[in-house]
Structures are given as structure tokens and as C-alpha cells.
Amino acid sequence: MADYPDLVVVGAGLFGLTVAQQAVEKAGVRVRIIDVRDHIGGNAYSYMDEETGAEIHKYGAHLFHTSNRRVWEYVNRFTSFTNYVHRVHATHDGVVYPLPINLGTINQFFHAALTPAEAKALIEQQAGELAGTDPENLNDKGIQLIGRPLYEAFIKNYTGKQWQTDPAELPADIIKRLPVRFNYDNRYFKDTWEGLPTDGYTAWFERMIDDPRIEVSLGVDFFDESQPYNKKALTEAGVPVVYTGAPDRYFDYALGDLQWRTVDFKEVRYAEDDHLGCPVMNYSDADVPYTRAIEFKNFNPERRESQNHEKTVVWQEYSRFARRGDEPYYPVNTPADKELYQRYADLAALEKNVVFGGRLGTYRYYDMHQVIDSALDAYEQRIAPMLAANARD
């Protein structure tokens, strides 16, 4: 134990960074963070594009929002936030509409001037026999929520591209993330607080671990026994570990592979100041192979003076099933996957001095604020007692 720190955190994403920060602040321990990637921040990592002056979100658009006061107060210790409010648009059949589905979308789509009550009545009529029910599959849930015409225009093909699965075979809870409003509010999130870190995600993350008791080793594989902070060596030495990778990888896929969705990006550069006119444009039609496009400059209008007005960069986003070696983004979460994850979770519970956490470690889809909240809870309830017990040994 003498040659090891008090805690090793596997993964430099938001869960790992939060745990490391809490451990040095509250327990005064020494922490080593390792990550197989060449940067901190996990999927929220960003970097500056020199040609355009845009902050590129390397793993797709990340927007911070929360109604959790504890999380909001915590993150504001390390960064301030811009007044950015996330709004999304969708292109369908050559026309651009506001999302999420709201009264503006409904009236534009039907070339109408419906009141909220009239719009609700129309949607219920178009839901047909599914009105007032609680369907279990996404296809029927979508029709029940917004009626067949709107569902088929904006949701059906988009979801089919995103999941490469017939929506009738997907669980209904996927679509429950999409709000539907019978007013003209087109703000995507309804949380109390929202914004982007003023000087970027990476600067925020660097401040979280700006402490001499925290050391970071990048490009380090936890399963590579040629390096000192590997699974076998740490287990034999009894070093406390926080593991934020996938549980099936931790157990060498002994029970089988958990299914994930991953995302590929195609970068397109344009010799113009602004190509989309917005940060995110969804493409709802089946004949467009990508689900959405992201124009990063438009996330930060407050930086216009430092941006290149003659060049812009857009990323097109393609979704597919992940293979081993791909970046896992979203758990597929079929009943079989949930059952398999529970078996892995049962194995994880038997691992002495190891806490599994984060989006990958718990096989859950988390927003950033949920990751931070779960990390604060995990530190208080599991990691602090683990550190205290090891200190007594």
C-alpha cells in the first residue's frame, strides 16, 4: 500500500472527477485518476478549433441544465455559466420547425391558428384508439402523445435512424424524454438553471482537480498489467478503487456483452459565417442518413468577436450499435440487457474496495447533472466509509 495512493479513480469523466475532488477535500487523501483517453472530462470534453474559433464538443453536444440546487451550487464553485438557452429545430420535408413539439410546431404543421384547447382536442382525435392509454412500445406511445401525423413527421423516422430498430420494438420510456407543450414555449429544457461553462468544459474540469493531492495519468489502460495502476495489482494490494467503465469489461465479458449505442460524426467545413443558423438541427426524414447536425459556433454567441466569420464547422451525427472497442454512448436497455446488467451488478457488489459508478459503470443514461449528483451521493454513502475503513486497517 505504501507505493499506492489512498484511492485510484478509473475514468476521468464527471463521476470520477467529482469523487476525486470530494475525496481530497473531505478526507484529505491522495488520489490517482487514470484514463485510457488522452484527456480528462469523459464525453463532456471539449477543445477549441483554431480555424473557426468554435469550442468543439468532441463527443457531441453537451448542454448543462439542472433543477438540483446542490448540484448547481457545486458546479458553480468551479465555473460560471453563460445565459445560453437550448432550442432545437427540425427539418421535415424541406421545412424547418421548432422543437420540442409545441403549439408553434402544431400550428405551422397544420397551417392553422389553434388555441391550446383546440390543439389538445386535435391531438386526441389523431391519437385515435390510443388516446388515454399508456402504451408500452415507443411507436404507440408517440401516437398517443402527439397523434399519428406529427409522430410520423418528427419522431418515427428520426427514432428509427437513432436506434436502427423499428419503434414498435422499442420501450415507450425512450420517448418520455421528449416534452410536448400546448403553448409557444420552445425552450428544450425546463430546468431552473441552464447554460454553458463560460470558458469551456475543459477549463471547468481542470479546476475541479486543481489540487496537488490529485494526480492524473492519461493514456493508461486499467486492464494493462504492464502499468502499475492495473486491476490485478490494485486488487492484490487492497487499494480502494472507483471504477467508471463498463461492468461487462471489468469482468472480462464473463456473462456476455451489454448492448450500447454509439455515435459517429462526419465533419463538414463551410466558407461562410453561419451555416445552420442554430446550434442543433434535427433531420426527421428517412432519406437523410444522419440524425442531426451541430454547428458549434452557435453555442457561444458571446464569443463572436473572437470567432472567424468566414469559416464555420458542422458535425453530422450518425447513430449505430456499438461494437467492442467503440465508444459506448447509450445503454440499449432491452429487458435482456437489464437482466444481464443486474447479474453484473450482483458480481460488482462482491468486489471488495471497488465502487462502480457513472453512466457506464451503472449502465444508465445520465445527463451531466445526474452524474454529478450520483457521484456526490456515492462519495457520502459508499466511498467515504470505504476510505475510512482502509485507513483503519
Indicate which residue of 55, 248, 317, 373 is catalytic.
317
The CA-based diameter of the chain, rounded to the nearest angstrom, is 73
Residue 177 annotated to the active site: yes
Phi-psi region of 193 (alpha: psi -120 to 50; beta: other; left: phi over 0): beta
Residue 367 annotated to the active site: yes
Residue 249 annotated to the active site: no
Contacts 24+ apart (CB under 8 A), 18-21: 18/74, 18/208, 18/371, 18/372, 18/375, 18/376, 18/379, 19/242, 19/357, 19/375, 19/378, 19/379, 19/383, 20/208, 20/209, 20/214, 21/208, 21/209, 21/211, 21/214
Closest CA to 247 of 357, 151, 111, 140: 357
Helix (H) or strand (E) segment spanning residue 51: none
Helix (H, G, I), strand (E, B) or coil at 113: coil
Indicate which residue of 6, 188, 261, 373 is catalytic.
261
Can you tell me the distance from the alpha carbon of 136 to that of 168, in angstroms, rounded to the nearest whole number? 9
Can you tell me the distance from the alpha carbon of 48 to that of 392, in angstroms, rounded to the nearest whole number? 46
Can you tell me the distance from the alpha carbon of 295 to that of 55, in angstroms, rounded to the nearest whole number? 10
Indicate which residue of 140, 292, 330, 379 is catalytic.
292
Residue 365 annotated to the active site: yes
In the numeric block, which cell numbers belong to residue 313? 464547422
Can you tell me the distance from the alpha carbon of 324 to that of 330, in angstroms, rounded to the nearest whole number? 14
Indicate which residue of 38, 93, 177, 339 is catalytic.
177
Indicate which residue of 264, 365, 377, 380 is catalytic.
365
Indicate which residue of 181, 248, 341, 363 is catalytic.
181
Residue 317 annotated to the active site: yes
Indicate which residue of 221, 366, 367, 382 is catalytic.
367
- What is the distance in angstroms between the CA of the first residue and the CA of the last residue of the chain? 11
Residue 269 annotated to the active site: no
Q: Which residues pair with 89 in a beta bridge?
A: 98, 281
Which residues are designated catalytic?
A: 177, 181, 261, 292, 317, 365, 367
